[in-house]
Structure 1
Amino acid sequence: MRMRVSLLVMAVGFAAISSAQTPSSVALTGQVTSAEEGRMEGVLVSAKKAGSTITTTVVSDDQGRYRFPTPRLQPGQYSLQIRAVGYDLEGPGSVEITPGKTASADLKLVKAHDLASQLSNTEWLASFPGTEQEKASIRACTHCHTLERVARTRYDADKLTEIVQRMSTYPQLSFPMKIQKLLAPRIGGGEEPLEQRLEGWRRQAQYLTKINLSSSPHWGYSFQTLPRPKGRATHVIYTEYDLPQRTRQPHDVIVDSEGMAWFASFGEQILGKLDPKTGKVTEYQVPLLKPQAVTGSLALRFDEDENLWLGMQFQGGVAKFDKKTEKFRTWSLPPELNGDYVQVNQVSPDHHHVDGKVWLQDAGTYTVLRLDVKSGKFEVFEPFKIPRPNIYDVISDPQNNVYFTVFGRDQIGKIDAKTGKITLHQTPTRNSAPRRGMLDSEGRLWFGENRADRIGMFDTKTEHFQEWPAPTVGSWPYDVIADKNGEAWSGGEFSDRIQRLDPKSGGIVEYLLPRFTNVRRVWVENATTPVTFWVGNNHGASIVKLEPLE
């Protein structure tokens, strides 16, 4: 066959050659090499068809060979990109895929022109000088933007103090493409004196001047990079779907029994549906309950009928979307519970048929609430007195009792649905910050230990904990989900890596994602074999599908 390559690519050595003239199971193949390493394993190669919203990515094997299966690349013109920290593709490339033929393109990599632009948040934290306490003080920056953005600033401590103080008035759903401001701070943690807050902002600003470019045009520390994938971690295909607008933040992505991927936009009143076969996105406008309040939804969960429920955050309520009628129904907190500080992030309707009640959480007061769907009345449960630790997720069991994660400390709590009794269980690792999770069919509660850098599991039958450290230090797992095979999957905001845990052996495979991905909620589609993993790129306005090949 004949493959067209741009003149620029030809000039800089992106080699393309003709290959088999007969139909093949491979649409595009080639070898990745560099002068420094020769044949390179673990390089992510991405192909995107001109005019398409879908990008497909494969990973080179131990011989540096990459292969795109024929069904994944339809005929047409494609652009190619790579991810391999420390390297650039020697010139941008384009390749034409022709029906019934295998295209071949060898990729030559050169040392990166701007290594800083390639670092993940984990790599930045590993590179920064300073104590663990100092580094921990800026980890929350990643809720809204990358650490690269901070490291490239040239502000001094005075200016940075002003900036940090201003950013403290933004909710965690703000990001550079859409900034919103809080109407009121949270009250659950108690009131912090202004002098104490100013002192904290000043300390944070002073540390930032040690890692930014305020005193020199060059960083005074060397960059630490993570190794590329190898072995099983290269046996994977990724598909990334662009969303309609850059302001979309698919914080939670879940997949229904028909294979449709649903997402809630973190900073907008939008519920979206993606058809993975076509890439078509359908969006539904979520009702506005408090017009002056910050917009957006966080939690997105199915009930027993596969209707979708949303935690409406600063809108002060929850919403149910009926898939058949495509209509919303909402429930607002009563006025006495619905101050400007309210932030209903989480909702758990999974077992509401048991008693007609739905559990939710308020991040403004750090309390757990229960909604009677029929009457619209809310009950409030206070596991702690003010100043309270942050209660993050609520997860119901088959009896519609609820488990909750104490992100502000290191506990898993339970509220008995019939008696209201509250019990607390301490994780083995102190200050572990359990964040989000799920309950599997065996009664095991899986969750991310966000400050302990571990995957956690609490057996609700034996009340026994088990923990597995993330292979990459600084992954800080946000969420965990178990699949039909008993394996657990996790990810976080820092390393751009997805962990796949085999609890029996303790082995963990880490899959590097094709680009910077602010990972929040994770999901596994069990209808496929092998299972399919899904996650939203919360700051990249896309949804990523990960298909392990074994």
Structure 2
Amino acid sequence: MPLVPARSGLLALGLLAWAGIAQAEALSGTVRSAEEGPMAGVLVSAQREGTNVTVTVVTDAEGRFAFPEGRLAAGPTRLSIRAAGWDLAGPEAVTLTAAPASAALVLRPARDLPMQLTNAEWIESLPGGDADKHFLQNCTNCHRLVQPLLSDHDEAEFVDVQRRMAGYAQASSLLRPQVLVADRVANQSAAAQAARLKVFERQAAYLARVNLRQKESFDFALKTFPRPAGRAARVIVTEYDLPEPTRQPHDVIVTPDGMVWYNSFTEQVLGRLDPRTGEIREWEVPTLRPDAPKGSLALRADRDGHLWLGLSYQGGVARFDPRTEQFRIYPLPAHLNRDSTQTTEVEPRHLHVDGKLWIEDSGTYSIYRMDVATGAIEVFQPFPIPSPNIYDLSTDAENNVFFTVFGRGDVGRVDAKTGQIRTWPTPTPDSSPRRGMLDRDGRFWFGEWKAGNIGMFDPRTESFREWRPPTPWFFPYDVAPDRNGEAWTGSMLTDKVARLNPKTGEFVEYLLPRPTNIRRVFVTETERVQFWAGSNHGASILRLEPLD
């Protein structure tokens, strides 16, 4: 199969690289308000003007903050804070030099609390029981909950909105809605369409009851979660803004050379961030089907350093060689490439074992195994059609593939030698396992999306364990085990990263500086663990460094 050349080389640079810029000494200070005095658990962010890098620390129990030396560049620097219910009264900027600097920040009560709430705080605030509000998690796939809740739509308008949005691909956003080629509704029976309409009507009735239709303010109390304290305040967060607001960095990975790679969920883009300088390069991923939704979902590296992308509705996978900056595209054969095809997941990490690449097709709920040398594809169907949605893939050292069953509540494995398929139900029924990965001991960690748990399956004992993060409505999307035996996850609703000690069951939850919709999570194998993820709706990449 011939190589497909990259259609674009250097698309964008970070706004200003750190290289050659004088580094400021540490910035420290205090945060206080007239109402509370010294304020603990306030996130304080600093961004040198003209750069794409923002660094955040958290105030301690006495309201003090300090940025480590070497983390901020000298020059005019913007300051911002995050503390639900509070605004920064001042100062909003400082000029950093080679000498240590200090700032005394003063906060005042927020003028617009609704815009400060996380998605999880909105759901917690809304009236009704969990069953009434559970559907709202689906809204956060494409946007924040402020969109429907601050609207003035009535029931009929909300039904129309849901009908329209049901015709969009999952790879959509407010800035880039993408219409599906395959009409999901047209293929449903009349009974199924009627049942679907009743769901829309029930959800529309709830939204029209709680939003701002015919009222100027909400008739329920807005609840905020406590600010970070203790270990949750001992953290540094660094954010790198991407070149365009349309970027949706669904997957972020770090390669052994320290480079950070990302894909875009709604665009044919592969990008690379140099965290030492802030420099960003992007390449345009070849398009296979111009009429289909664009973007990729999975991004993983093989042992030889090639990067593999699941091209989703484009109907194939791509391999990128960072050394030659060339793509090679592997489209699905015609008999497998339908309008509904959605090759979301690709798993190349043990490709070297037998030359076989695992691919998941969310459109047909199938798992494919491709011989990279010949292009031959085997099809594995874990369930009879109609099948629940197979989701993520992760391989062990023998290239056996483990998979999650998002459509109900199972994990499974395909034996690479025999082709035998086995599945195991999670302890919590209908938990909807989403994404995950194997640790060094062969245990499979995954996010139980609907159940709100971190799950772990041990193939040796065929047993499960589950843990629930303390913040309500966390809904873990993915789980990454680290070298120390802890597990990390992110949320699309809480703007938090959770760190689990499985031996004690203790969680540490780190609040992030901005609204952050997290999908794939990644932890480095360095001596001190670093957590990486994309802000899927914020066009940025974040690095979180715990200080313990």
Q: TM-score range by the shorter chain?
A: over 0.9
Q: Any residues of structure 2 matched to 1:167-182 within 5 Å, and which?
A: 167-182=165-180
Amino acid at match of 2:255: D
Q: d(CA) in 2 for partners of 1:520 and 1:186?
A: 24
Write the distance in 1 (CA, Å) between the matches of 2:387 and 2:156. Answer: 32
Residue of structure 1 equivalent to 2:7: none
Q: Secondary structure at the match of 2:139?
A: helix
Measured after TM superposition, the shift of residue 523 of structure 1 is 0.5
Q: Which moved more, 1:35-44 or 1:279-288?
A: 35-44
Cα contact 1:310–1:320 (8 A) shared by 2 = yes
The CA deviation at 1:379 is: 1.5
Counterpart AA for 2:359: L
Letter in 1 for 2:125: S
SS at match of 1:198: helix
- CA displacement, residues 120-145 of structure 1 (integer Å, 9 cap, x when unaligned): 01001101112322312232110000
Cα RMSD of the aligned pairs, angstroms, is: 1.5
User: What secondary structure does 2:161 align onto?
Assistant: helix
1:328-347 correspondence runs (5 A): 328-347=327-346
Query: Cα deviation per residue 1:304-333 (whole Å; 9 max; x = unaligned)?
Result: 112110000000001111122111111111
Greater mean deviation of Cα atoms: 265-274 or 67-76: 67-76
Counterpart CA distance in 2 for 1:105 and 1:457 is 45
Q: 1:125 aligns to what?
A: 123
CA-CA distance at 1:386 after TM superposition: 2.2
C-alpha distance after superposition, 1:422-464 (max 9, x if no partner): 1111111112111100111110111111111111111122211
Name 1:427's counterpart in structure 2: 426
Residue 64 of structure 1: aligned partner: 63
Contact 1:190 1:388 in 2 (8 A): no
CA distance in 1, matches of 2:516, 2:69: 27
Alignment of 1:365-404 (within 5 A): 365-404=364-403
* 1:374 CA drift (Å): 1.1
Alignment partner, residue 147 of structure 2: 149
Between the aligned partners of 1:368 and 1:129, the Cα distance in structure 2 is 41
Q: Secondary structure at the match of 1:294?
A: coil
| 1:448-463 pair list within 5 angstroms | 448-463=447-462
Deviation at 1:39, TM superposition (A): 1.2
- Cα distance in structure 1, aligned partners of 2:62 and 2:131: 42
- Distance in 2 (CA, whole Å) between partners of 1:505 and 1:133 is 31
CA distance in 1, matches of 2:452, 2:398: 31
Q: Secondary structure at the match of 2:282?
A: strand
Q: Distance in 1 between matches of 2:157 and 2:188?
A: 28
For residue 149 of structure 1, give the secondary structure of its aligned residue in structure 2.
helix
Counterpart in the other structure of 1:237:
236
C-alpha displacement of 1:503: 1.2
Deviation at 1:391, TM superposition (A): 0.9
Which residue number corresponds to residue 181 of structure 2?
Answer: 183
How far the C-alpha of 1:25 sits from its partner, in A, is: 9.3
Task: Report SS of the residue matched to 2:434.
Answer: strand
Counterpart residue identity of residue 107, structure 1: L
Is 1:510 aligned to residue 499 of structure 2?
no
**CA pair 42-396 structure 1, distance change in 2 beyond 3 A:** same
Structure 1: where are the runs of 5+ without partners?
1-23
5 Å matches for 1:149-298? 149-185=147-183, 193-298=192-297
1:25–1:69 Cα contact (<8 Å) kept: no
Higher relative contact order (CA 8 A, sep 6+): 2
Conservation of the 8 A alpha-carbon contact between 1:269 and 1:295: yes
Q: Could you tell me whether the CA contact under 8 Å between 2:167 and 2:184 is conserved in 1?
A: no
How far off is 1:186 after superposition? Answer: 5.5
The offset of 1:196, in angstroms, is 2.2
Q: Residue by residue, what CA displacement relative to the aligned partner does 1:340-370 show, whole Å, maximum 9, x if unpaired?
A: 1111111111111111111111111111111
Query: What percentage of aligned pairs have identical amino acids?
Result: 52
Residues of 1 paired with 2:173 and 2:428: CA distance? Answer: 32
1:26, distance to aligned residue in structure 2 (A):
5.2
CA distance in 1, matches of 2:504, 2:160: 50
**2:135 aligns to what?**
137
Alpha-carbon offset, residue 41 of structure 1: 1.1
Question: Is 1:444 aligned to residue 443 of structure 2?
Answer: yes
Please tell me the residue identity of whatever aligns with 1:29.
Answer: S
Pairs aligned (count) = 524
Q: Which amino acid aligns with 2:100?
A: T
Aligned pair in 2 of structure 1 residues 190, 158: CA closer, same or farther (>3 Å)? closer
In the aligned structure 2, how far is the partner of 1:194 from the partner of 1:411? 27
Note the 1:108-123 alignment, pairs <5 A: 108-123=106-121
Structure 2: segments with no counterpart, 5+ residues:
1-22
User: Any conservation in 2 of the 1:186–1:342 contact (CA below 8 Å)?
Assistant: no
Native 8 Å contact 1:174 1:180 kept in 2: yes
Query: What CA deviation, in whole Å up to 9, does each residue of 1:491-545 have, x standing for no partner?
Result: 1100011011111111111110111000100001112x32111010000100001
